[in-house]
Amino acid sequence: MILDRINYPEDLRKLNLIEKKELAQEIREVLIDTVSRTGGHLASNLGVVELTMAIHSVFNTPIDKVIWDVGHQTYVHKLLTGRKKKMDTLRKMDGIAGFPKTKESIYDNFNTGHSSTSISIALGMARARDIKGENNKILAVIGDGALTGGMALEALNDVGSSNVNMVVILNDNEMSISKNVGGISMMLSKLRTKSFYVQTNLKGKKAISKIPFVGKKVVKLVQRGKRGIKQLVIPKMYFEDIGFRYLGPVDGHNIEKLEDILTVCKEQEGPILVHVITKKGKGYKPAEQNPDTFHSTSKFNKDSGKKLGKTINDYSKIFGNTIVRLAKNNEKIVAITAAMKDGTGLTEFAKKYPNRFFDVGIAEQHAVGLAAGLAKAGMVPIVPIYSSFIQRAYDQLVHDIAIQNLPVIVCADRAGIVGNDGETHQGLLDMAFTNTIPNFVIMAPKDFQELDQMLSFAVTLNKPVLIRYPRGGEEIAFSNHEDIFLGEVEILNLEKNVEQRVNISNKKFPEKSIEIIAIGKMVSKAVHVSEILMQEGIQVTVINSRFLKPLDETKIIQTMKDKLLVVTMEDGTIIGGLGSKIEEMIVRNAIPIKLKKIAYPDQFIQHGTVGEIEEKFGLSVEGIVNTIQEILESDDIKPMRLEMMKRQG
């Protein structure tokens, strides 16, 4: 295999064209084989094999710096930059990440994971380079999907007028996760349909013709292009108009042409945009045919392309089914997605109510702003966004929704730990950053049915609402569901729930009585924890908080009476969430009770499975049980126990 000889880009640069074509084939086989076993972003990587090779062949990486937008398409880059032997550990705990990580390699120049940031980052680096008097090349590689994001457009606006030397490579495969949408996408398709040519206004044609091997070829190509173009109406060149020199479109699977055009752009000054046309999923039929389902895939059988593992119901599906049902009787309900129709469960809604469904592209800020406008004009907008991507729209939550108290329902899908996508995608901050926004009602369901209840409740509430729920399925399908009232917690009838599963010992030690207040998916964990503790004779009350905001303090304070310990459980950061609220409440009301907050620490959490991460941070059932037992056996709780026993006689 040629790949055996390739460890770093300098090995790649030694290959001839025929060898490079063979290498591209080998890389595709490794990608398909690896991702079939690890899961991950397959289709996008298959689409950039030649582009990645050409970039590393032509540019002097790592001196020249490449910023990959989103970073989900960097598996090829990782293979070619010293991480070939670690591919089997891709996205696994302590293995290599599915996104660029500066800690992993000097070839990774910036940690990414969220879309549309690359041009800003590259411009920042280019400006710093100029201030420092250095002269390396800086490139941003951005997809047509990511180009729909506001941050990318803001950056283009800045770069275009800046005259800074940098290259934006636009990887245009006509796809975001689903088919790309919007006016920019329409503009790109106009450019795409013109025959392949190189824009004619290259600076210093003479100098280019002197570039060994490629120079003359390119100038000829330009001249041929010029003649050809005369017969066409030249499309209005958006990129030229905003200050870029536009090169392309070029076939992104033709290494020779790619290398030629990149060599040319190396010699150009000012901002350059190279328009590269690729096919998402290239070289693997199942991914070419279904680039959306192979955008981010679970493990699959590489011969058949069939996904492994059983398909279970998940919160996104329940969300989708519920709003389809609610929309039937309520014509005001509209749904908005920021390029995540399938992932957030909106496929059916989009089919059933096409005129009430809006895919706005990767544009979370706009999605929330649009919702605010719709709400102001009398609609009831529902906007499901993955928790970590809502971070993008913080000011829209505050300024466009909360200040005017508009009835927008924002759903934080993938809240909590998401697992293998790692730190950029963990949804750990949403409770903390929405908790402080006045007017917002914040809820999290304990199971599927409660999500249905919460959505039904939210559409009648006429207030800003955030409902958060995790990736995947419910742990326990509870048998009992009380009606929802604003701010009211639900005290679980645990003995009834638990009795169905375990044989609770009759011995009870009321003096050891504790209370768990949990929210969202942690309610199931609280029940499992209480099952174990109750078998050891510890009395446990489990409270399903339901709300983070508002919270019915009076009822909670009542439940704390005669308890030794209150444990809060949430799948979010330890700062600013449920635990913090309860702590503040205990202090403010001088309640004599010990508090333990179970949550994730104040740090970014790397990739691994959800189970592994829960275990590592003490949020598995066993971990929580151990923590509680340690507290109950610790010396500092003894005086409280004695005091309580005295009171109870």
Residue 114 contacts ligand TPP per CB under 6 A: yes
The nearest distance, CB 178 to ligand TPP, in angstroms, is 9
* Torsion sign (Cα): 233, 238, 241, 246: negative
Residue 115 contacts ligand TPP per CB under 6 A: yes
- Of 343 and 416, nearer to ligand TPP (C-beta) is 343
Residue 182 contacts ligand TPP per CB under 6 A: no
Residue 99 contacts ligand TPP per CB under 6 A: no
Closest CA to 492 of 441, 530, 457: 530
The nearest distance, CB 427 to ligand TPP, in angstroms, is 12
| Catalytic residue (one of 50, 259, 364, 570) | 364
The residues with which 600 forms a beta bridge, in sequence order, are 573
The nearest distance, CB 370 to ligand TPP, in angstroms, is 15
- Interatomic CA distance for residues 609 and 542, integer angstroms: 27
Residue 176 contacts ligand TPP per CB under 6 A: yes
Name which of residues 312 to 341 contact ligand TPP (CB under 6 A).
Answer: 339-340
Q: Where are the beta strands (DSSP E) in 478-580?
A: 490-491, 509-518, 538-544, 547-549, 565-573
The nearest distance, CB 349 to ligand TPP, in angstroms, is 18
The nearest distance, CB 12 to ligand TPP, in angstroms, is 21
- Of 175 and 255, nearer to ligand TPP (C-beta) is 175
Half-sphere exposure in the Cβ direction for 251 (13 Å, CA): 8
Residue 44 contacts ligand TPP per CB under 6 A: yes
- Interatomic CA distance for residues 417 and 605, integer angstroms: 9
Residue 345 contacts ligand TPP per CB under 6 A: no
Instruction: Give the phi and the psi of residue 638 in degrees, each rounded to 5.
Output: -55, -50
- Of 109 and 185, nearer to ligand TPP (C-beta) is 185
Q: Does the annotation mark 14 as catalytic?
A: no
Residue 524 contacts ligand TPP per CB under 6 A: no
- Interatomic CA distance for residues 232 and 516, integer angstroms: 71
Contact 56, 9 (CB under 8 A): yes
Residue 396 contacts ligand TPP per CB under 6 A: no
Tokens of 159: 């770069």
- Of 225 and 320, nearer to ligand TPP (C-beta) is 320
- Of 46 and 382, nearer to ligand TPP (C-beta) is 46
- Of 46 and 380, nearer to ligand TPP (C-beta) is 46
The nearest distance, CB 72 to ligand TPP, in angstroms, is 5
Instruction: Beginning with the edge strand found earlier in the chain, give each strand of the sheet holding 271-277 in spatial order.
Output: 65-68, 138-143, 166-172, 271-277, 245-251
Name which of residues 155 to 174 contact ligand TPP (CB under 6 A).
Answer: 171, 173
Please compute Rg for the chain using Cα positions.
Answer: 28
The nearest distance, CB 283 to ligand TPP, in angstroms, is 14
The nearest distance, CB 347 to ligand TPP, in angstroms, is 15
| Catalytic residue (one of 20, 245, 392, 468) | 392
Tokens of 416: 């909590």
The residue assigned the tokens 């742990």 is 475
At 357, which helix (H) or strand (E)? strand 357-359
Alpha-helical segments (H) within 231-346: 238-241, 255-267, 285-289, 315-329
State the number of binding residues for ligand TPP (CB under 6 A): 24
Which of 101, 392, 528, 607 is in the footprint of ligand TPP by CB under 6 A? 392
- Interatomic CA distance for residues 117 and 150, integer angstroms: 9
Q: What mask, x for binding ligand TPP by CB under 6 A, covers residues 277 to 306?
A: ---x--------------x-----------
The nearest distance, CB 129 to ligand TPP, in angstroms, is 25
- Interatomic CA distance for residues 586 and 560, integer angstroms: 10
- Of 161 and 289, nearer to ligand TPP (C-beta) is 289
At 193, which helix (H) or strand (E)? helix 183-193
The residues with which 543 forms a beta bridge, in sequence order, are 491, 517
Q: What's the angle, vertex CA 466, arms to CA 460 and CA 332, rounded to 5?
A: 40
- Interatomic CA distance for residues 113 and 391, integer angstroms: 13
Residue 143 contacts ligand TPP per CB under 6 A: yes
- Interatomic CA distance for residues 538 and 492, integer angstroms: 16
The nearest distance, CB 252 to ligand TPP, in angstroms, is 11
Angle formed by the axes of helices 17-38 and 49-58, nearest 10°: 130
Residues contacting 219, CB < 8 A, separation 6+ = 205, 208, 209
- Interatomic CA distance for residues 505 and 16, integer angstroms: 75
- Of 144 and 515, nearer to ligand TPP (C-beta) is 144
Which of 389, 448, 457, 600 is in the footprint of ligand TPP by CB under 6 A? 389
- Of 280 and 446, nearer to ligand TPP (C-beta) is 280
Residue 178 contacts ligand TPP per CB under 6 A: no
Instruction: Give the phi and the psi of residue 77 in degrees, each rounded to 5.
Output: -60, -40
DSSP 548: E
- Interatomic CA distance for residues 77 and 55, integer angstroms: 10
| Catalytic residue (one of 65, 129, 280, 446) | 280
- Interatomic CA distance for residues 573 and 432, integer angstroms: 7
Distances (CA, A) of 148 to 116, 183, 253: 8, 9, 23
Name which of residues 198 to 257 contact ligand TPP (CB under 6 A).
Answer: none
Which of 126, 177, 336, 380 is in the footprint of ligand TPP by CB under 6 A? 177
Which of 126, 146, 167, 408 is in the footprint of ligand TPP by CB under 6 A? 146
Stretch that binds ligand TPP, among 139-147, 329-337, 520-528, 616-624 (CB under 6 A): 139-147
Residue 181 contacts ligand TPP per CB under 6 A: no
Name which of residues 554 to 613 contact ligand TPP (CB under 6 A).
Answer: none
Neighbours of 559 (CB within 10 A): 15
- Of 47 and 579, nearer to ligand TPP (C-beta) is 47
Q: Does the annotation mark 282 as catalytic?
A: no
- Of 427 and 579, nearer to ligand TPP (C-beta) is 427
- Of 176 and 530, nearer to ligand TPP (C-beta) is 176
- Interatomic CA distance for residues 118 and 68, integer angstroms: 6
Residue 145 contacts ligand TPP per CB under 6 A: yes
Which of 119, 121, 155, 175 is in the footprint of ligand TPP by CB under 6 A? 175
Half-sphere exposure in the Cβ direction for 344 (13 Å, CA): 28
Q: What mask, x for binding ligand TPP by CB under 6 A, covers residues 64 to 93?
A: ------x-xx--------------------
Task: Give the active site residues.
Answer: 280, 364, 392
| Contact footprint for ligand TPP (CB under 6 A) | 44, 47, 70, 72-73, 114-115, 143-146, 171, 173, 175-177, 280, 295, 339-340, 362, 364, 389, 392
